[in-house]
Amino acid sequence: MSSLTIKQLRSIDDGFDTALNQLLAWESVSDGNLQQTVADIIQQVRTEGDAALCRLSDQFDRFPVESMAQLSLGAIEIAAAFERLPAQQKAALRFSAERVTAYHEKQIAQSWRYTDDLGVVLGQQVTAMDRVGIYVPGGVAPLASSVIMNALPAKVAGVRDIIMTTPAPGGQVNDFVLGAAFVAGVTEVYLLGGAQAIAALAYGTETVPAVDKIVGPGNAYVATAKQQVFGKVGIDMIAGPSEILVICDGLTDPDWIAMDLFSQAEHSHDAQAILISHDAEFLRRTLAAIERLLPTMERADTIRRSLNARGAFIWVPKLDDAKALINKIAPEHLELSVADPEAWLPDIRHAGAIFMGRHTSEALGDYCAGPNHVLPTSGTARFFSPLGVYDFQKRSSLIGASASAASELGKVVSVLARGELLTAHARSAEQRIND
C-alpha cells in the first residue's frame, strides 16, 4: 500500500502559480487511436443498426444477445425493478426525486411577447425538446443519483420521451438504477454502454429512437463519442474528473473536512480534492485526520491514489486571499466552511455549485438537496452552468409586423442590405414599403 503524500503549497512561495497550474492541468485521454476506435463504432451503428448493437454488446459488455428484445426494457419492467427494492431505498429515491423536481420547477422559462412603438409584435416562444437520451455508467458504483439528476430536469421541462441507456456487463442490470429511472420518469431503457450507446441515441436504429440531446457522464469512449456526434444532436458537456475545493477558516472539525475531501477522491484516481486555509495548524490537524481515517474507507486505495496524484493543501496568508484562487480554479464543487459564507458570494464568479456553511457537505448536493449535481469540471465553470431545465428547452423568436411597421422597417433594411450587396434581401423588404 502506497504512502500518503498530499502536495503542500503556499501561495506566497516563488513558483506557486506554476505549481498550481500543474496541479489543475487535466488533458483528455482521447488520443488518436481512441478517436478512430470510436469513429469506427459509430459508423458500424449507423450502417448496421440493431445488428451492430447486438454484436458490440457481446464484444464490450460480455452480454451475447440474439435480438434487441434482450436489450430493451419497457415501462412494466422499469416499474417492476422499483417494486423489488427495499422500502428504505424506495423512500429515499422518492424523497430525492421530489426535492430535485421542486428545485428545477423554479427554472422553467416562460414564453413572452410585447408590441413596440412601431406596432411590431416581438417575443420568444419556449418549447421543450421532443426526445432526449441520458447515459448512465455501469461501473462499480450503481449511479441511481445520476439517473435522477439527468432525467428529472428533462421531465420538468416537458420532454415527451426520456430514453436511458446503461450497460449491463454480463447481462446484469442494477435494480437500484432502474428504480431511479422509474421515479424520474424515464420512458424506455436500453442495456447499451460505451460509444455504441451514444451512436444509437444520436442516429437511431430499428429499435432505438434517435434523440435531440444526449446528457450524462461516462468513460473516455462515451466522452469521445459525445464529441463526435455533437452537431447531429446536442450534448450537455464533456465532463472531466470530479473535483472539490474546500475553504476553511480553521474552526470546522478536521474529521468533517477529511471526509468531505474523501467524498470526491473516492470517485476515481483522477478526481481532485483541494483544501485552502490560512490556519497552518488546522491544515496539519486535517492531514492527521486524513491519515487516521483513510484506512477505514472502503475505497481507500482509490482515495489515496487520487490525493497523491491531484490533491493539495494550500496555505494562504489571509483567508480572503482564497477568493482569487477560487475564481482561478473555477471548481466543480466549492465548500465554504466558514463562519459567514454569505459574505463570500459577491466575490465568487466561477464555481459549479457552492455549499455554504460547516454543515453543508458536498454529498448533500449529490443526492437530495435539490440542485443538480451535473456540474462543469476542469475550470469550465468559467463558461458552463449546472445541468438544468433550460438545457431541455428551446427558444424561438417571434416577429409579427403590421403593414405600416413593415414599411418603416423596410426602409432601414433596404439601406443595410444594399450596403451588404444582398439585393434580394433589399427588394424583399422594399416590396412592402407603402410610400
The annotation status of 269 as a binding-site residue, yes or no, is no
The three three-digit cell numbers of residue 422, written as one number: 444582398
Distance between CA atoms of residues 245 and 335, nearest Å: 6
The three three-digit cell numbers of residue 273, written as one number: 480534492
Distance between CA atoms of residues 85 and 260, nearest Å: 28
Distance between CA atoms of residues 146 and 297, nearest Å: 23
Proportion of the chain in helix, strand, coil states, percent, rounded to 5: 50, 15, 35
Q: Which of 238, 218, 219 is nearest to 227 (CA)?
A: 238
For 9, phi then psi, to 5°, come to: -120, 150
Dmax over CA atoms of the chain, in Å, equals 87
Q: Which helix (H) or strand (E) holds 99?
A: helix 87-105
The annotation status of 327 as a binding-site residue, yes or no, is no
For residue 391, what is the DSSP state?
G
For 234, phi then psi, to 5°, come to: -80, 160
Q: Where are the alpha helices (DSSP H) in 106-240?
A: 144-157, 175-184, 194-203, 220-229
The conformational region for residue 391 under phi > 0 = left, psi -120 to 50 = alpha, else beta, is alpha
Residues linked to residue 113 through DSSP beta bridges, in sequence order: 123
Distance between CA atoms of residues 184 and 373, nearest Å: 15
The annotation status of 219 as a binding-site residue, yes or no, is yes
The annotation status of 425 as a binding-site residue, yes or no, is yes
Distance between CA atoms of residues 293 and 258, nearest Å: 8
The annotation status of 150 as a binding-site residue, yes or no, is no
The annotation status of 43 as a binding-site residue, yes or no, is no
The annotation status of 104 as a binding-site residue, yes or no, is no
Instruction: Sort 185 into a burial class: Cβ within 10 Å, 0-12 / 13-18 / 19+.
Output: middle
The three three-digit cell numbers of residue 399, written as one number: 416577429
Q: Which of 203, 353, 359, 333 is nearest to 272 (CA)?
A: 333
The annotation status of 359 as a binding-site residue, yes or no, is no
For 395, phi then psi, to 5°, come to: -120, 130
Report whether 168 contacts 198 (CB < 8 A): no
Distance between CA atoms of residues 225 and 216, nearest Å: 12
Q: Which helix (H) or strand (E) holds 115?
A: strand 112-115
The annotation status of 278 as a binding-site residue, yes or no, is no
The annotation status of 350 as a binding-site residue, yes or no, is no
Active site residues: 332-333
- Sign, CA dihedral 351-98-149-61, equals positive
The binding site for Zn(2+) comprises 264, 267, 366, 425
The binding site for NAD(+) comprises 135, 196, 219
The binding site comprises 135, 196, 219, 242, 264, 267, 333, 366, 420, 425
